[in-house]
Structure 1
Amino acid sequence: MSAAFTLAKPEHLERLIALVAAFHAEEGIEQSDEDRRNAIAPLLDGIPHGIAYLMGPPRAPIGYVVITLGWSLEFGGLDAIIDEIYVRPGVRGRGIASEALLALPNALSQGGVKAVHLEVDKENQIAQKLYTRAGFKPRDNYMFMTRKL
């Protein structure tokens, strides 16, 4: 299946919030609606730290992907993290996430991005297979560590 990808803009905020809330509920991520809104709105307003894309028709999106940007000495410059990728359960298994994971790195590299990273639950074998098919590899002896501020 081919899904259109639309750069999310302020007018898409409510639709994106609903999708993010669904993903967070599915993953057990606890976040208030206000915190969710405060995290998403700057991306749609054009801050330089990341972007959000809607998958499918913008009026009735079937998923989203959020990409954040950083800088890496190891990888030689601008790098990106696929912070979240989500496809509604009713349309999963149709190649939509695969399409995004194959198209986005190509587009990002044209914008100067040197590496794209993502994080996956060690127990989520389905996601790991998807990411491996899209060319992502685990890094031996490395793991994301977090300190919440």
Structure 2
Amino acid sequence: MSAALKLARPDDLDRLMSLVTAFHAEEGIEQDADQRRDALLPLLEGIPHGCIYLIGPGRAPLGYIVLTFGWSVEFGGMDGFVDEIYIRPAIRGRGIATEVLHNLPKALSHAGLTALHLEVDRANETAQKLYLRTGFKPRDKYMLMSKVL
């Protein structure tokens, strides 16, 4: 299996929608198809706030990763957030996510990103082990907090 990455474009929307729908169902994220499409399309059309990569073959992707970008004074410049990463259940455990999370940050640092962040369910020990193994570390003094607007 290859964790080759392909920058997703608008013509990838249908393939991506099925993957995102599967991930959201697995995670209990409630969002209708129109909301999901409206959230994905600007990223596929090239807005500067983020991007989506398909993992594996473009015609039959194994998964996807969504990155969003921001600015951090603390980290000294542009930073990124892994908003979602998903690998099809049938092929998990083969090192694909590990490869993506090892290689993509290297490429992003060469593009000027100074830090990459993510959040993980406190009860998801499998994902926590993956993230620790790929260099992500919990921040002892901080926790992510959100306010829906």
The two structures share one fold, judged by TM-score above 0.5? yes
Percentage of matched positions with identical amino acids: 64
Question: Which residue number corresponds to residue 119 of structure 1?
Answer: 119
Question: Is 1:129 aligned to 2:129, yes or no?
Answer: yes
Instruction: Give the aligned residue type for 2:57.
Output: P
Deviation at 1:20, TM superposition (A): 0.4
Question: Which residue number corresponds to residue 25 of structure 1?
Answer: 25
| Unmatched tracts of structure 1, length 5 or more | none
The question of whether the paired residues in 1 share the 8 Å contact of 2:3 and 2:97 is answered with: no
Question: Which residue number corresponds to residue 69 of structure 2?
Answer: 69
Question: Which residue number corresponds to residue 145 of structure 2?
Answer: 145
Question: Is 1:83 aligned to 2:93, yes or no?
Answer: no
Deviation at 1:83, TM superposition (A): 0.4
Deviation at 1:62, TM superposition (A): 1.0
| Unmatched tracts of structure 2, length 5 or more | none
The question of whether the paired residues in 2 share the 8 Å contact of 1:81 and 1:117 is answered with: yes
Deviation at 1:4, TM superposition (A): 1.6
Alpha-carbon distance between aligned partners in 2 of 1:141 and 1:122, rounded to the nearest angstrom? 15
Question: Which residue number corresponds to residue 45 of structure 2?
Answer: 45
Alpha-carbon distance between aligned partners in 2 of 1:72 and 1:3, rounded to the nearest angstrom? 29
Structure 2 counterpart SS, 1:126: helix
Moved over 6 A (4+): none
Alpha-carbon distance between aligned partners in 1 of 2:115 and 2:3, rounded to the nearest angstrom? 24
Instruction: For residues 23-80 of structure 1, give each alpha carbon's deviation from its aligned partner in whole angstroms, at most 9, with x where no partner exists.
Output: 0000000001000000000001000000100011111111000000000000001000
Question: What is the CA RMSD across the aligned residues, in angstroms?
Answer: 0.6
Aligned length: 149
Provide the TM-score with structure 1 as the length reference.
0.98
The question of whether the paired residues in 2 share the 8 Å contact of 1:2 and 1:95 is answered with: no
